Chains A and B, each alone.
Chain A
Amino acid sequence: MSAGNPGDRLKPATGATVGAALRVEGVHKSFDRLEVLRGIDLVVSEHDVVCLIGASGSGKSTLLRCINLLEPIQAGRIFVGDTEITARNVDLNAIRRRIGIVFQSYNLFPHMTVLENVTLAPRKALKQSRGDANAQATELLRRFGLADKRDEYPDRLSGGQQQRVAIVRALAMQPELLLLDEVTSALDPELVSEVLDVIRELANGGMTMVIATHEMSFARDIASRVYFLDAGVILEEGPPEQLFSAPREARTRQFLQRIIAAGRL
């Protein structure tokens, strides 16, 4: 797992909507009266790594859950590749197989071994044979340094190992798009880097990702574009060099200053 140089990666011209892996158009989301997303537009090209930053409660997790159709939206449209996933009569399960998501709290299945966690969906949703699924899972686990944890139960693993298993579990479905929701927030500081290294390696491999994160230096390092969410709208977006060094909006500056004051940039 080498810390890759972002420059190594083949980046398509930013802003190109042709071949967009993900397009979010005017998405509104409310929980009862509370409007959490108030018209979100977002385009992610293939092989792009987009980071979502913003204060707690600004709607980052909600946006990711909407993209994965775990939450219904009230208005707007979402496209993955050429498919409008928010259209009526789409097959939710088929769509979700194309989009991986990894949660802050890992959410591994505690009654299954690591191998069973990773092979469950390939076997039951993609109807892979046990042999094929096991072979693929074993290879992925080996790649991410988890080969010897194959037959352990999740509660015997460290937080960092659990989160890496959760990432492998999502990858086993060979998703077109991977959503990561603050995947290092629940980890002890010394375990953060092993998970970030995995994400770097995925970025170097060309995985298209949308990452909600509070790790600003990581975002600056890895993102092709950064979106700043504020109270349910995207207040500002741009390449990381620009957004972090010369933010246009006063609220973005405020947010970054608070982060700097907290020693996280």
Chain B
Amino acid sequence: MTARVSRETRAVAIALLSTAVLAAAIVVVATRSPGWGAFRAYFLDWAIYRDSFPEILHAFWLNVKLFLVAEVIILPAALFLAVLRSLPGPVFFPIRALAIAYADLFRGVPTILVISILGFGMPALGLSWLPQSEFFWAVVALVLVYTAYVSEVYRSGIDSVHASQDAAARSLGLSHGQSLRLVVLPQAVRRVIPPLLNDFIGLQKDTALVGTLGVVEAFKQAQIDQSATFNGTPYLVAATLFVLITIPLARFVDWLVARDKKRQQAGRAA
């Protein structure tokens, strides 16, 4: 027992030590580099960091809103698309084909192009009944692109549930829809939570592309501050904000996965 405790303590100590050594090595290499002085002056100006923080934080709120609004639409839309692609039989061929064409198209075109085409193009059509707001078209662009990605994630989850699960459900007299909803999808979604999170993080980061439309979100605001001060530190502010939101997201899903595992192992009803 005591042997195990001391072994665990030693493992922690080793981990801490090796991390410290690596960090020290990075610091030494960076600070000794010939351009360190210039780099430090350009990116690590504490006064500018402090001064630009409130404005960029305020602009970052727009990134969060873009992310939340888009994600709320993407999650069900992508699931719907994945289900369309899994419809059996020749009758549904056109629907499957359309779903595939959609996914191929929007995973193929760079996100920034979709944002630019919709964000500049749609208002330029001059149709008064079309929404003119850049925020609206930015959300549409992000939804179109990420629905294509996320539907692939769902689909891989659906495919990973063995066909025998569906056979068992159908053999009991459940319909295709019931089997999908009650047996296949619950297992599929549980399995894809980690890759789904990766797409969450990707989406959160890609909200910065919306700045190209002139929408003042965190990256755009940082750009504005940078040209006002001739200093790159505002970019660091924006980077800090993005990291602050994606790290908790990652830890949250780790926690979800661990909880799920524990619950199944404990054999307790949800």
Partners in one complex: yes
Chain A positions near chain B (C-beta within 8 angstroms):
68, 70, 93-94, 96-97, 99-101, 103, 105, 107-111, 113, 120-121, 124-126, 151-153, 155-156, 169-170, 173
B167 touches A107 (CB 8 A): yes
Residues of chain B contacted by A107 (CB below 8 angstroms): 164-165, 167-168
Smallest CB separation, A122 vs chain B (Å): 9
Smallest CB separation, A186 vs chain B (Å): 12
Other-chain residue from B164, B170, B173, B190 in contact with A94 (beta carbon distance below 8 A): B173
New A-B pairs, 12, CB < 8 Å, besides A70-B167, A121-B173:
A70-B170, A93-B170, A103-B164, A107-B168, A109-B168, A113-B269, A120-B172, A120-B174, A125-B173, A125-B175, A156-B265, A156-B267
Residues of chain A contacted by B173 (CB below 8 angstroms): 93-94, 96-97, 121, 125-126, 173
A124 touches B182 (CB 8 A): yes
Most buried by A among B168, B174, B182: B168
Q: At the interface, is chain B mostly helix, strand, loop or mixed?
A: helix
Other-chain residue from B165, B172, B268, B269 in contact with A125 (beta carbon distance below 8 A): B172
Residues of chain B contacted by A156 (CB below 8 angstroms): 265, 267
Chain B positions near chain A (C-beta within 8 angstroms):
164-165, 167-175, 178, 182-183, 186-187, 190, 264-265, 267-269
In the docked arrangement, what's the CA distance between A258 and B224, Å? 84
Query: Please, which residue of chain B has its CB at the minimum distance from the CB of A149?
Result: B267
In the docked arrangement, what's the CA distance between A125 and B177, Å? 12
In the docked arrangement, what's the CA distance between A111 and B183, Å? 8
Residues of chain A contacted by B264 (CB below 8 angstroms): 110, 153, 155
B187 touches A111 (CB 8 A): yes
Smallest CB separation, A74 vs chain B (Å): 17
Residues of chain A contacted by B182 (CB below 8 angstroms): 120, 124
In the docked arrangement, what's the CA distance between A93 and B173, Å? 4
Query: Please, which residue of chain B has its CB at the minimum distance from the CB of A166?
Result: B168
In the docked arrangement, what's the CA distance between A100 and B170, Å? 11
Assuming the contacts A93-B173, A155-B264, asked whether A105 and B164 have C-beta atoms less than 8 A apart, the reply is: yes
Query: Please, which residue of chain B has its CB at the minimum distance from the CB of A105?
Result: B164
Most buried by B among A99, A125, A152: A125
Most buried by B among A70, A109, A152, A173: A109
Residues of chain A contacted by B267 (CB below 8 angstroms): 151-153, 156
A111 touches B186 (CB 8 A): yes
In the docked arrangement, what's the CA distance between A114 and B175, Å? 21
A101 touches B164 (CB 8 A): no
B183 touches A96 (CB 8 A): no
Smallest CB separation, B26 vs chain A (Å): 44
In the docked arrangement, what's the CA distance between A68 and B171, Å? 7
Query: Please, which residue of chain A has its CB at the minimum distance from the CB of B167?
Result: A70
Residues of chain A contacted by B168 (CB below 8 angstroms): 103, 107-109
In the docked arrangement, what's the CA distance between A203 and B175, Å? 29
A121 touches B165 (CB 8 A): no
Smallest CB separation, A148 vs chain B (Å): 12
Residues of chain B contacted by A124 (CB below 8 angstroms): 174, 178, 182
In the docked arrangement, what's the CA distance between A181 and B63, Å? 56
In the docked arrangement, what's the CA distance between A151 and B268, Å? 7
Residues of chain A contacted by B169 (CB below 8 angstroms): 109, 120-121
Residues of chain B contacted by A110 (CB below 8 angstroms): 187, 264
Query: Please, which residue of chain B has its CB at the minimum distance from the CB of A114?
Result: B267
Smallest CB separation, A230 vs chain B (Å): 26
A70 touches B174 (CB 8 A): no
A109 touches B165 (CB 8 A): yes
In the docked arrangement, what's the CA distance between A96 and B170, Å? 8
Most buried by B among A68, A105, A121, A152: A121
In the docked arrangement, what's the CA distance between A247 and B17, Å? 77
Residues of chain A contacted by B187 (CB below 8 angstroms): 109-111
